[in-house]
Chain A
Amino acid sequence: MSALPPYSSAAQIAWYYAFRVICGLIFFFLIFPIMVIAPLSFNAENFFTFTPKMLALDPEGYSLKHYQDFFTNPDWQQALWNSVTIAPVATILATGFGTLAAIGLSQSHVPFKSAIMAILISPMIVPLIISAAGMYFFYSRIGLQGTYWGVVLAHAALGTPFVIITVTATLVGFDRSLTRAAASMGADPVTTFFKVQMPLIIPGVVSGALFAFITSFDEVVVVLFLGSASQKTLPWQMFTGLREQISPTILAVATLMVAISIVLLTVLELLRRRSERLRGLTPG
């Protein structure tokens, strides 16, 4: 899709622009639903659509009342608190276990490598409803159903495949001679790991951790089955809100969550550029 050559025919020129318009429309389809909720969340009325006042840009048509509701309503605050306490612990568990396992898997002689990989990746493949159902029955049997740790363990299990995949990806490009050099200079394995290997694979670990975090922070099916009312997370509250009474507060929450995803995306992009720079590629 380089620029049009000067000898292009009229049909080629027409297609060139038509193709760009088509792509523009698809990009619009991708981004519009996410962007439209932000202005709607400032609606002064309890509507899900633009009021004439909003379209006329009348300040009276806008208000912060849905945000105020989110920050004062105990239900939403409890949900926010639960999300904020569950996701980081699940992330730490997933990242810790996942990074170790990825390093182990990247060694050259691992027996049953593909079988182990399949088991470790499985939480990502199995439909969530099946995971949720299985965990619900099993965790109730061992007394973890409806507990904080039950949800944390379940979310950690769902997050590990992402850590494995991202860390493995960075380890593929990892130069083995660096660790050998460190070892030949007398560094013990632990020092080698923390001083040589870790700084190089840290982008993979961080992006894996972000994936694990967002998996837990967004997850609703498992928590619906596995949690009790006291583990109600933000997505759970949104889900019941959408299913039952549709309160416009959902739009304020959704806008805040979009803001969080923008922050996460920026962090990931910076990490990607850093690792490209380290590998000698110029960032775009």
Chain B
Amino acid sequence: MSSTPTATRSHSDFPDDGVVRAADGTPLKQRLAKALRREKLRSFLLIAPLLLFILLSFIAPIADMLFRSVENNIVQDTIPRTVEALKAWDPAGNELPNEPVFAALHDDLAIAVEKRVHTRLGSRLNYEKSGMSGLFRKTGRAIKRMDEGDYKAQFIDADEDWGDVETWRVIKRFSPAYTPGYFLNAVDAEQTSEGIRMKPANERVYLMLFNRTMVMSLMITVSCLILGFPVAYLLAHLSLKASNMLMILVLLPFWTSLLVRTSAWKVLLQQQGVINDFLVWTGIIDDANRLVMINNQTGTIIAMTHILLPFMILPLFSVMKTISPSYVRAAKSLGANDWTAFWKVYFPQTVPGIGAGAILVFILSIGYYITPELVGGTSGIFISNRIAYHISSSLNWGLAAALGAILLCLVLILFYVYDKIVGIDNVKLG
């Protein structure tokens, strides 16, 4: 330090303007700001690697998926000339597009058939109007045999659907690069030439599934609360030693693999399983009338209650632990009976714990996939199972993305509420 010329100067060398200065004469404010900047930079450098990692490996994929729910380049990319030619056509009228459009379609399809992408376009448009898939496949085969001139007649000859104005309306409606179509589908609505309307009642699936997911998650949350409250109360009021011992019974399931617990329930709930065997053995039920407890909603609710119960007990326990026993004693000394003291004095103090536990269990259960898939059958599946189905089996990725976006919104809203009540910093594990 002493080698620097500034450090050897005395304070009297600096103007006496009332500014507090550090040893080297820079105003203290500046030095503090510099130190703060350095500290900010250091903490940022510590966070940056993980932030970058999460942004690249997690946030970007999700953003990418959400984008798929509105993206609709396939029509434009596959039949660009037709899309261009259709711009002049009025879909409200009842007339077919004129010859140039058909000519453009011929050119486009000839290339598409060459590249073998016309079937993909067919299956994309089939989501909006059934029969489109077959139409494109059939026309794809016919396209090579077409002669020059009067394509309109030749197309209608190849498949009479080309003579249907509705076919053209669908193509025109889904030509833009972005579409609300998947989102409308996800809430059982559809775009028609008359505007947006709900699908016929027998084709509505997703609202029912969302509804079921919410209702069943609510049932699971309530049963977790009913089972979790007494246990948390007992644990919070036993001696430390006893409660630590009993806590193991809560933590062991918490730490046990999800699949282990799901398989255990599969074993227990089967018609030839342990519970049914026991009930038959005790004579409660007849061998011929074994209970059906699996591959339906009952199975999902029982197994998921078991899986999520620790997530209810742990926050309840940590809140109950902090409630001072003197309030209940005071209430009793003022003449309240056990029930009044509990209900009017103790219970209201547990509400933050109930809120935290209930939202946590609800958030976790509406996104569940594995357990409903394995024990839910057809009546006990959740919206997640449908999303998985569209990704791996039906390959309608846009619809899967739209359903996922709605589910994600639900979870984020609930999580915002959770953050307001509990705070993410206060999440405790184990």
Q: Which residues of A contact B248 (CB under 8 A)?
A: 265, 269
Measured between alpha carbons, how far is A104 from B46 in the docked complex, in Å?
5
Measured between alpha carbons, how far is A36 from B258 in the docked complex, in Å?
16
Q: Which residues of B contact A235 (CB under 8 A)?
A: 257-259
Q: Which residues of A contact B263 (CB under 8 A)?
A: 37, 238, 242, 250-251, 254
Q: Which of B40, B253, B429 has the most CB of A within 10 A?
A: B429
Least CB distance, A215 to chain B, in whole angstroms: 11
The residue in chain B whose Cβ has the minimal distance to the Cβ of A30 is B253
* A243 within 8 A of partner (CB): yes
List the interface of chain B (C-beta within 8 A of A): 36, 39-40, 42-47, 49-51, 53-55, 57-66, 68, 227, 230-231, 233-234, 237-238, 240-241, 243-244, 246, 248-253, 255-268, 270, 272-274, 277, 306, 309-310, 338, 363, 366-370, 373-374, 384, 387-388, 391-392, 397, 400-401, 404, 407-408, 411-412, 415, 419, 424-425, 427-430
Q: Which residues of B contact A264 (CB under 8 A)?
A: 255
Q: Is the CB of B49 within 8 A of A33?
A: no
Other-chain contact of A129, B40, B68, B404 (Cβ < 8 Å): B404
Measured between alpha carbons, how far is A246 from B272 in the docked complex, in Å?
13
The residue in chain B whose Cβ has the minimal distance to the Cβ of A114 is B424
Q: A97-B49, A116-B51, A218-B257 are in contact. Are A34 and B252 (CB under 8 A)?
A: yes
Q: Is the CB of B277 within 8 A of A49?
A: yes
Q: Is the CB of B391 within 8 A of A133?
A: yes
For window 44-73 of chain A, which residues contact chain B by CB distance below 8 Å?
47-50
The residue in chain B whose Cβ has the minimal distance to the Cβ of A104 is B46
The residue in chain B whose Cβ has the minimal distance to the Cβ of A153 is B57
Q: Which residues of A contact B265 (CB under 8 A)?
A: 33
Other-chain contact of B237, A1, A108, A251 (Cβ < 8 Å): A1
Q: Is the CB of B234 within 8 A of A48?
A: no
Measured between alpha carbons, how far is A36 from B46 in the docked complex, in Å?
47
Q: Number of A residues whose C-beta is below 8 Å from B? A: 96
Q: Is the CB of B252 within 8 A of A218?
A: no
Measured between alpha carbons, how far is A231 from B426 in the docked complex, in Å?
36
Q: Which residues of A contact B412 (CB under 8 A)?
A: 125
Q: Which residues of B contact A117 (CB under 8 A)?
A: 424-425
For window 143-170 of chain A, which residues contact chain B by CB distance below 8 Å?
153-154, 156-157, 160, 162, 164-166, 168-169
* A176 within 8 A of partner (CB): no
Measured between alpha carbons, how far is A122 from B53 in the docked complex, in Å?
13
Least CB distance, A157 to chain B, in whole angstroms: 4
Known contacts A30-B310, A169-B428; can you find 7 more A-B pairs with CB under 8 A?
A33-B261, A34-B264, A109-B43, A127-B368, A133-B65, A138-B65, A251-B263
Q: A1-B237, A27-B231, A109-B36 are in contact. Are A130 and B62 (CB under 8 A)?
A: yes
Q: Is the CB of A104 within 8 A of B415?
A: no
| 30 examples of A-B residue contacts, CB within 8 angstroms | A27-B249, A29-B309, A34-B252, A36-B274, A48-B267, A48-B273, A104-B43, A104-B45, A107-B43, A118-B419, A120-B51, A120-B54, A131-B58, A133-B400, A134-B63, A135-B58, A160-B50, A218-B259, A221-B369, A238-B259, A238-B260, A239-B370, A242-B262, A251-B267, A254-B263, A258-B256, A261-B255, A261-B256, A269-B248, A284-B240
Least CB distance, A267 to chain B, in whole angstroms: 10
* A137 within 8 A of partner (CB): yes
For window 87-134 of chain A, which residues contact chain B by CB distance below 8 Å?
93, 97-98, 100-101, 103-105, 107-111, 116-123, 125-131, 133-134
Q: Is the CB of B234 within 8 A of A242?
A: no
Q: Is the CB of B309 within 8 A of A30?
A: yes
Q: Which residues of B contact A133 (CB under 8 A)?
A: 65, 387-388, 391, 400-401, 404
Q: Is the CB of A262 within 8 A of B274?
A: no
Q: Is the CB of A268 within 8 A of B430?
A: yes
Q: A100-B50, A104-B47 are in contact. Are A157 and B259 (CB under 8 A)?
A: no
Other-chain contact of B266, A111, A154, A246 (Cβ < 8 Å): A246
Q: Which residues of A contact B429 (CB under 8 A)?
A: 162, 165-166, 207, 211
Other-chain contact of A29, B47, B227, B368 (Cβ < 8 Å): B227
Q: Is the CB of A119 within 8 A of B59?
A: yes
The residue in chain B whose Cβ has the minimal distance to the Cβ of A108 is B39
Q: Is the CB of A37 within 8 A of B251?
A: no
Q: Which residues of B contact A207 (CB under 8 A)?
A: 429-430
Q: Which residues of A contact B274 (CB under 8 A)?
A: 36, 40, 48-50
Q: Is the CB of A37 within 8 A of B260?
A: yes
Q: Is the CB of A26 within 8 A of B384?
A: no
Other-chain contact of B367, A127, A225, A246, A284 (Cβ < 8 Å): A127
Measured between alpha carbons, how far is A138 from B255 in the docked complex, in Å?
31
Q: Which of B58, B246, B262, B408 has the most CB of A within 10 A?
A: B58
Q: Is the CB of B253 within 8 A of A157?
A: no
Q: Is the CB of A242 within 8 A of B54?
A: no
Q: Which residues of B contact A220 (CB under 8 A)?
A: 258-259, 370
The residue in chain A whose Cβ has the minimal distance to the Cβ of B46 is A104
Q: Which residues of B contact A141 (CB under 8 A)?
A: 64
Measured between alpha carbons, how far is A19 from B237 in the docked complex, in Å?
13
Measured between alpha carbons, how far is A250 from B262 in the docked complex, in Å?
11
Measured between alpha carbons, how far is A77 from B425 in the docked complex, in Å?
40
The residue in chain B whose Cβ has the minimal distance to the Cβ of A154 is B57
For window 230-284 of chain A, which residues contact chain B by CB distance below 8 Å?
235, 238-239, 242-243, 246, 250-251, 254, 257-258, 261-262, 264-265, 268-269, 272, 284
Least CB distance, B329 to chain A, in whole angstroms: 11
Measured between alpha carbons, how far is A19 from B49 in the docked complex, in Å?
51
* A42 within 8 A of partner (CB): no
Measured between alpha carbons, how far is A100 from B249 in the docked complex, in Å?
33
Measured between alpha carbons, how far is A157 from B50 in the docked complex, in Å?
9
Q: Which residues of A contact B388 (CB under 8 A)?
A: 129, 133
Q: Which residues of A contact B42 (CB under 8 A)?
A: 104, 107
Least CB distance, B113 to chain A, in whole angstroms: 26
Measured between alpha carbons, how far is A243 from B376 in the docked complex, in Å?
11
Q: A120-B54, A127-B408 are in contact. Are A19 and B43 (CB under 8 A)?
A: no
The residue in chain B whose Cβ has the minimal distance to the Cβ of A124 is B427
Least CB distance, A15 to chain B, in whole angstroms: 8
Q: Which of B253, B257, B374, B401 has the most CB of A within 10 A?
A: B257
